[in-house]
Amino acid sequence: MNEIIKNMLERRSIRKYKPEQIAEETLNVILLAGTYAPSAGGRQSPVIVACQDAGINDWLGKINKAAFRGHMSSAKSYISKEQPSIADDVSLESGFYGAPTVLTLFAPGNFLYSVADCSVAAQNIVLAAHSLGIGSCIVARAEDTFASELGQRLQKEWSISSDYEAKIHITLGYPANDAPPKAKPRKEERIIRVF
Ligand SMILES: Cc1cc2nc3c(=O)[nH]c(=O)nc-3n(C[C@H](O)[C@H](O)[C@H](O)COP(=O)(O)O)c2cc1C
């Protein structure tokens, strides 16, 4: 198995971070990888904001958690026992899990492929991060988080066109635990071969 495939299979969502900030050179490589993702029509629509302001990340993380409308986990159905998500542990205060760097990907609100564009960029980012020893977690509810008063104000302050919408977050930081979480077994019958 080559290193790229190994990296894909080994990456796990990390929700427990060390407090120290990630190295600037490392972040720059991760962001560069995000900009080289495929994009619909080659438009390179997604804009990536890397926020390292702890106060802003804290507020937005709380707004993000408050926007969670999914089911809470049960003994039978949970996201992660080792690295609980906000669906697993109601006591977690932030949808960003205290990560020192939080990325938000914005793309045009009225473009059919914005979610796909941001999703493939996010995948490049999390794989690049893992290959460099950085933990990451893709986090949903970016639209809700940036629909808030604070989100709208920040979007203006960051000079992001009001035609753009936040589509996805990615938390980044050094993993707090040495042992990575284990992947759940892969579901069967997800691959259909046709000859
Ligand atoms: C579109 C998308 C949205 C996600 N949203 C969240 C989220 O809001 N909060 C969270 O903790 N994890 C989120 N995740 C991470 C998943 O929970 C995680 O990928 C899944 O449990 C599988 O674990 P793994 O990434 O370690 O393989 C999201 C993943 C994807 C692809």
Q: Give the tens place of pLDDT for each residue, 4-34.
A: 999 999 999 999 999 999 999 999 999 999 9
Residue 75 lies in a domain: no
Residues 101 and 19 sit within 8 Å (Cβ to Cβ):
no
The number of the ligand 1 atom at minimal distance from the alpha carbon of 97 is 11
- Claim: this prediction has a pTM higher than 0.75: yes
Residue 77 lies in a domain: no
Paired tokens of 28: 């720059």
Pocket flag, ligand 1, residue 67 (CB < 6 Å)? no
Expressed in angstroms and rounded, the spacing between residue 6 Cα and the centre of ligand 1 is 19
Paired tokens of 32: 């560069």
Residue 9 lies in a domain: no
Pocket flag, ligand 1, residue 94 (CB < 6 Å)? no
Q: Give the tens place of pLDDT for each residue, 108-131.
A: 999 999 999 999 999 999 999 999
Total of domains in the chain: 1
Pocket flag, ligand 1, residue 99 (CB < 6 Å)? no
